[in-house]
A and B are shown apart, each in its own frame.
Chain A
Amino acid sequence: MSASTIPAPPISETLAPSPPKRRRRGGGLGNRPGFLTYGLLGAFVLGSAYPLWWSFVVGSGTNRTRAETLPLIPGENFIRNAITVLDAVPFWLALGNSLIVASVITVSVVTFGTLAGYAFAKLKFRGRDGLMIFVIATMAIPTQLGIIPLFIVMRQLGWTGELGAIIVPMLVTAFGVFFMRQYLVDVIPDELIEAARVDGANQIRTFLHVAVPAARPAMAILGLFTFMLAWTDYLWPLVVAPQNPTLQVALSQLQSGYYVDYSIVLAGTVLASLPLLVLFVVAGRQLIAGIMQGAVKG
């Protein structure tokens, strides 16, 4: 992959005086998007958001609310249903477990993914390309059968029933490594790394001062996605550590039985998605184009 070089400014700009160049990244060209754009976006967001709203509406109604074709107004039962959920399942324990699992996995995936992605993208070492292809290839294997041998491994290690068994298989993902590599390969100019090295920085300092600031938006995305993935995982936590249930496992109990009250089930799922929504708000800020700090000024 070619590293991006900063192109020579076009003649037009050198001939005519131009406004001071802000090395601002992204953001298109700054002209205000029109009504059509917002309209289309709005439609898209409506389609994306309705099912969640539907979950809330049914979750605040009764089982009968399901019979409506297009429920729009929430009912009054949400608090009542939520309390039923909190009573019926070990909600707080499961919430805590989910938070631990998802947070540890996220920090680990982002950290090691960025490290490895950086190495694959910018450092030269023997076997680099071959190993990268290997990493990508590991994603191509269907993992559904893997629960059996993975369970065997966990039993051998004596970790069944513990949160560690849920966490360890996901500590570093090929997705994370691949994603960071692709992002970093163009985003960090080779010159910057050279410059840092010339300045006497060792590898880790280069990584921390050049790569990481540049990688921040991607790290935010990767972190968010990894957290969501770990948060919504169901089958593996169910099989390997049901005694330490994560939120998804705990909530699924509401669905058991011949008579299922979906209003309670959905109230539960809404509760479970609240932490994710909070995370959205936090992560959203990271994705706004901003002036790049640190490295580029060099």
Chain B
Amino acid sequence: MSLHRAIRGGVAAGAAGLALTLVATGCSSGGAAQDGDELTLSVTTFGTFGYEELYEEYEAANPGITISATNIDTGGNARTDTFTKLAAGGGLADVVAIEEGWLGSIMEVSDQFVDLRDHGIEERAADWVDWKYEQATDPDGRVIGYGTDIGPEGLCYNGPLFEAAGLPTDREAVAELFGGEDASWERYFELGRQYQETTGEAWYDHSGFVWNAMVNQLPEGYYSADGELIVEDNTELRERFDQLAAGTLDGLSAAEAAWDWNGGQSFVDGSFATFVCPGWMLGTITGKLEAGGGDATTGWDFANVFPGGAANWGGAFLSVPVTSEHQEEAAKLASWLTEPEQQVKQSAAAGNFPSTLDAQEQLAADATPNPVFNDAPTGAILAERAEGVQAQFKGPKDSLIQENVFGPPLKALDRGETDADAAWSQAVQLLGELVD
């Protein structure tokens, strides 16, 4: 009998739970409870945006507004989330963070996002580095994002390894060595061969990141400014590819697994001496270094130089979907979050590099030394590296081409399984199969 009662109890509990759920569902707060000036704005970010305290600040300054924030762990999951909701026709937050890598795809449906010129962004346009503002402008001239951070690229190098090869170790000397203002990829590979001959070790971790930087620098990458795919007969692209292939086949690549780097150990055991470093990568390296058993004494440093000139990798924007029921308020919040003052605070909290000029100046002036990178004033260096970057048009399949079209041939080159011609052919073939 007790079992009978237990079962009955269980069913009752279940029913009660169900009822509770449905009731809770029924009297939901919906998107935002509006009661006069009472308003809840939802924000979705990913990775480390460092906005927690800023949210509190905004709420304090704007009584009546509550911020409901969701932070998704990785860009990948955030992308799944955003794309799912776009595909479903709605459900996005009032303010959504968009990554530079998805920008190409988002631009295809840029009409799903509010034209921020209707909310005064043009008055602030000069706040940002011009190319960031341009990136957020769609082909019809609508501006759909407030720039948050950027990833200007500098060169990370390992001091002790350079020393062992007879190369200078002082940051400024290194910048000179690579050519300073006129740093070129030729010089980069030349030095690499020199290093390889002297020490027998690789120069860079794998071809993928180098290729990424080489492509990002071009005025036109995989797509022309009009949105045409321009990979196949692109001589400039092919030249760079050949350059990279030659270097890799000469043993300059450590053929590492990106994002893993042998559990971080490759940063510690001298597998490679240089590394492509956008601002945010400094944080990644720090984490991997620790996981691999290293630290500041491993000797990584950050030089104010980059082969081929200025380059940018990554960065994000805050945008307002048209499905938002509070576009004006959302735009205000997004705008505030991306003002120079807030960007400085964000940078301190999250370690990313701001896209507004004033914030950059602030960081440059502070010149905070980064202990992991031999006390390099990374903020100041990055500010300089941000100058001169050109906004490149990112087509809809840009990241796909980067990862799935060029990824495999570059990997094959890293492993010495192919030559430049065959690798390029493979890329073209993949392009035909994966991108229509």
Q: A and B: direct contact (Cβ < 8 Å)? A: yes
Which A residues contact B (CB, under 8 angstroms)?
Answer: 62-64, 66-67, 100, 103-104, 107-108, 110-111, 147-149, 151-152, 155, 158-165, 167-168, 171, 208-209, 212-213, 216, 235, 238-239, 242-243, 245, 252-262, 293-294
Residue B70 is within 8 A (CB to CB) of chain A in the complex:
yes
Q: When the two chains form the complex, which single residue of A162, A216, A293 contacts B24, counting CB atoms closer than 8 Å?
A: A162
Complex Cα distance A260/B68, Å? 24
Q: Which residues of A contact B13 (CB under 8 A)?
A: 107
6 A-B residue contacts at CB 8 Å? A64-B293, A66-B263, A161-B31, A238-B81, A258-B280, A259-B287
Decide if B291 touches A64 in the complex (CB within 8 Å): yes
Decide if B291 touches A66 in the complex (CB within 8 Å): yes
Given contacts A149-B88, A256-B74, 10 further A-B contacts (CB under 8 A): A63-B291, A103-B17, A147-B84, A160-B91, A164-B22, A238-B77, A238-B81, A239-B84, A253-B73, A257-B351
**Residue interface bits B286-308, CB-to-A below 8 A is 1, else 0:** 11001111000000000000000
Q: Which residues of B contact A255 (CB under 8 A)?
A: 73-74
Complex Cα distance A261/B90, Å? 34
Q: Which residues of B contact A67 (CB under 8 A)?
A: 263-265, 290-293
Decide if B283 touches A258 in the complex (CB within 8 Å): yes
Which B residues contact A (CB, under 8 angstroms)?
Answer: 3-4, 7, 10-11, 13-14, 17-18, 20-22, 24-25, 28-31, 42, 44, 46-48, 68, 70-74, 77, 80-81, 84-85, 87-91, 263-265, 280-284, 286-287, 290-293, 350-352
Decide if B287 touches A261 in the complex (CB within 8 Å): yes
Given A64-B293, A252-B73, decide whether A164 and B21 contact each other with a Cβ distance below 8 A.
yes
CB closest residue in chain B, given A262: B291
Complex Cα distance A66/B268, Å? 14
Q: Which residues of B contact A164 (CB under 8 A)?
A: 21-22, 24-25
Decide if B280 touches A242 in the complex (CB within 8 Å): no
Shortest 3 CB-CB distances between A and B: which pairs? A257-B48, A258-B283, A164-B25
Complex Cα distance A254/B85, Å? 24
Complex Cα distance A107/B18, Å? 10
Q: When the two chains form the complex, which single residue of B3, B47, B68, B290 contacts A256, counting CB atoms closer than 8 Å?
A: B47
Decide if B287 touches A260 in the complex (CB within 8 Å): yes
Q: Which residues of B contact A111 (CB under 8 A)?
A: 10-11, 14
Q: When the two chains form the complex, which single residue of A64, A161, A262 contacts B28, counting CB atoms closer than 8 Å?
A: A161
Interface of A, secondary structure class, is helix
Complex Cα distance A184/B304, Å? 72
- With both chains docked as a complex, state the minimum distance between the C-beta of B271 and any C-beta of chain A, in angstroms: 15
Decide if B7 touches A259 in the complex (CB within 8 Å): no
Complex Cα distance A208/B8, Å? 9
- With both chains docked as a complex, state the minimum distance between the C-beta of B128 and any C-beta of chain A, in angstroms: 22
Q: Which residues of B contact A253 (CB under 8 A)?
A: 71-73
CB closest residue in chain A, given B90: A155
Complex Cα distance A225/B309, Å? 57
Q: When the two chains form the complex, which single residue of A235, A258, A293 contacts B47, counting CB atoms closer than 8 Å?
A: A258
Decide if A163 touches B24 in the complex (CB within 8 Å): yes
Q: Which residues of A contact B10 (CB under 8 A)?
A: 107, 110-111
- Among the interface residues A67, A151, A155, A258, which one has the most CB atoms of the partner chain B within 10 A? A258
- Among the interface residues A252, A255, A260, which one has the most CB atoms of the partner chain B within 10 A? A260
Decide if A243 touches B21 in the complex (CB within 8 Å): no
Decide if B25 touches A252 in the complex (CB within 8 Å): no
Decide if B80 touches A212 in the complex (CB within 8 Å): no
Complex Cα distance A162/B42, Å? 14
Q: Which residues of A contact B263 (CB under 8 A)?
A: 66-67
Given A148-B84, A155-B90, A160-B91, decide whether A257 and B283 contact each other with a Cβ distance below 8 A.
yes
Complex Cα distance A147/B88, Å? 9
Complex Cα distance A213/B21, Å? 29
Decide if B265 touches A239 in the complex (CB within 8 Å): no
Given A104-B14, A159-B25, decide whether A256 and B46 contact each other with a Cβ distance below 8 A.
yes
Given A164-B25, A243-B68, A257-B350, decide whether A107 and B14 contact each other with a Cβ distance below 8 A.
yes
Decide if A107 touches B17 in the complex (CB within 8 Å): yes
Q: Which residues of B contact A261 (CB under 8 A)?
A: 287
Q: Which residues of A contact B68 (CB under 8 A)?
A: 243
- With both chains docked as a complex, state the minimum distance between the C-beta of A54 and any C-beta of chain B, in angstroms: 13
- With both chains docked as a complex, state the minimum distance between the C-beta of A170 and any C-beta of chain B, in angstroms: 12
Decide if A242 touches B287 in the complex (CB within 8 Å): no
Given A104-B14, A111-B10, A258-B280, decide whether A243 and B70 contact each other with a Cβ distance below 8 A.
yes
Q: When the two chains form the complex, which single residue of A63, A64, A151, A257 contacts B85, counting CB atoms closer than 8 Å?
A: A151
Q: Which residues of B contact A110 (CB under 8 A)?
A: 10
- With both chains docked as a complex, state the minimum distance between the C-beta of B151 and any C-beta of chain A, in angstroms: 10
Q: When the two chains form the complex, which single residue of B3, B30, B80, B90 contacts A293, counting CB atoms closer than 8 Å?
A: B3
Q: Which residues of B contact A252 (CB under 8 A)?
A: 72-73, 77
